[in-house]
Amino acid sequence: MTPGARIAATMELLDAITGQQERPADLVANAFFRARRFIGSGDRRAVADRVWSILRRYGQLTWWLDRTRHPERGGRAIVSADLILSEGLDLAGLMNICDGGTYRPGPLHETEVRALRQMEGHSLPHPDQPDWVRLNVQEWVAPHLQEAYGAAWGREIAAIENPPPVDLRVNRLKATVEQARAALAQEGIETEPMRFSPDGLRLKRRLSVVTGRAFQEGLVEIQDEGSQLVAALVDGQPGMQIADYCAGAGGKTLAIAAGMNNKGRVVAMDVYESRLDRSAQRLRRAGAHNVERRALDADNAKWLKRQKGAFDRVLVDAPCTGTGTWRRNPDGRWTLKPEDLAELVPKQAMILDAASRLVKEGGGLIYATCSVLPAENERQIEAFLEGHPDFKPVPVADLWQDVIGTEPPPQIADSPYLRLSPLKHGTDGFFAAALVRQVKAKETPEATETPAAEPAAAEEPV
């Protein structure tokens, strides 16, 4: 593709992503490129990278469109503004690209030229931009982020501007970390051990691993380091009964099963049976034989009722706003709505309450989200503990040495919960709380004899 054709495809893909709210950007992009087989792999990567970069600075770009009274808000306007403000292209250069040639954008209209000329010579940041614009988040969510991070919220959000690395979890059912690393090296994929996860490897540069032998044979799975640490908190041991209550496609289920060495039982549950079905191939590839899949539907209602108090551990990876994954899914910054948060908080509380019934006395309940918003995290746990006095929190720092095998980093040692962020830990944003169900004290039998000399109170004379 010519540079102009790449720009035209970028405009078209951006319109496809921002023009709907239901599907994630990566699925929209996959469908977009499947319908355009003529676009080569290098061009696909260039177009997708540009779109993802634009989504990361979308707030500032739309601010400039408002400031210059640009007549449009679609992909053409956004990409044009980005070429001038982010890449330093002058208006003449942009007009050369937008000349109406084959597969190239059409010529700029007079009103577009008037607005874009006001951007010429400027950079993306501007002193008049409020903090929420400068940090490329919606205005309504900024107070929630400030509550989460305090005065450091600007630095925390700025850290998600960088694209995430590719993280792998070594499947201990099939390989050691050293064996997996060697297998990847044979494919020309260089890795390094992760900072925290003992089973983790991080690619030194972004490459696709899914077609390689190491992945196809189940030696490794793609999984963010933060997600690996959440699964590690479950501390699944051989012979245990463990429930993954919101299993989805099974990433954490696989990690738990591997830690149990296929001994014991893991039940992967989800309200969407289609998600559980997608996990079947992953389970086979990993060689995980101790996993049972159960849909949380009417057909399994009686079975679920019989499981009360049956599990040593229950993991609740709750549905959430996904604010912790914004570096990976930048479109989420703009599709999230206040009503989404308002609907999710009571849903999370309901799920947590239902899942807690499965925990046996002395067993553990782990609540996790890939959100950084306190309303979904700390506030949710506080409300649960208030209504469930038989559960007590266990500081994550107390578990870290046992489940990770190292001293916890200072940021984690100072908090009762696991809070991970791209800035401090190089992971996605995750929250996790570990709770234990208290063992009820056995009742002692009351004395059966009462001294005859002691009359009952009711027999006392009035």
Name residues whose C-beta falls within 8 Å of residue 438's C-beta, 6 or more positions apart in sequence. Answer: 361, 362, 390, 391, 392
Max distance between CA atoms of the chain, in angstroms, equals: 111
Separation of alpha carbons 23 and 409, rounded Å: 37
Whole-angstrom CA distances from 340 to 147, 148, 227, 333 are 18, 18, 23, 12
Helix-strand-coil split of the chain, %, nearest 5: 50, 15, 40
Q: Is the dihedral of CA 74, 77, 80, 86 positive or negative?
A: negative
Separation of alpha carbons 242 and 234, rounded Å: 9
Separation of alpha carbons 386 and 382, rounded Å: 6
Among 98, 246, 320, 370, the active-site one is: 370
Of 268, 173, 286, which is closest to residue 222 (Cα–Cα)? Answer: 286
Separation of alpha carbons 377 and 144, rounded Å: 12
What backbone phi and psi angles, to 5 degrees, belong to 169? -110, 125
CB 288 within 8 A of CB 254: yes
**Cβ atoms within 10 A of the Cβ of 401, count?**
11
Residue 98 is a catalytic residue: no
- Residue 317 DSSP symbol: E
DSSP string, 103-130: TSPPPPPHHHHHHHHHHTT--S--TT--
Separation of alpha carbons 352 and 366, rounded Å: 9
Q: Based on the number of CB atoms within 10 Å of its own CB, is 6 exposed (0-12), middle (13-18) or buried (19 or more)?
A: buried
End-to-end alpha carbon distance in the chain: 105
Tokens linked to 440: 């009820």
Separation of alpha carbons 386 and 389, rounded Å: 6
Separation of alpha carbons 33 and 40, rounded Å: 9
DSSP string, 198-265: TTEEEESS----TTSHHHHTTSEEE--HHHHHHHHHH---TT-EEEETT-TTSHHHHHHHHHTTT-SE
Q: Catalytic positions, please?
A: 370
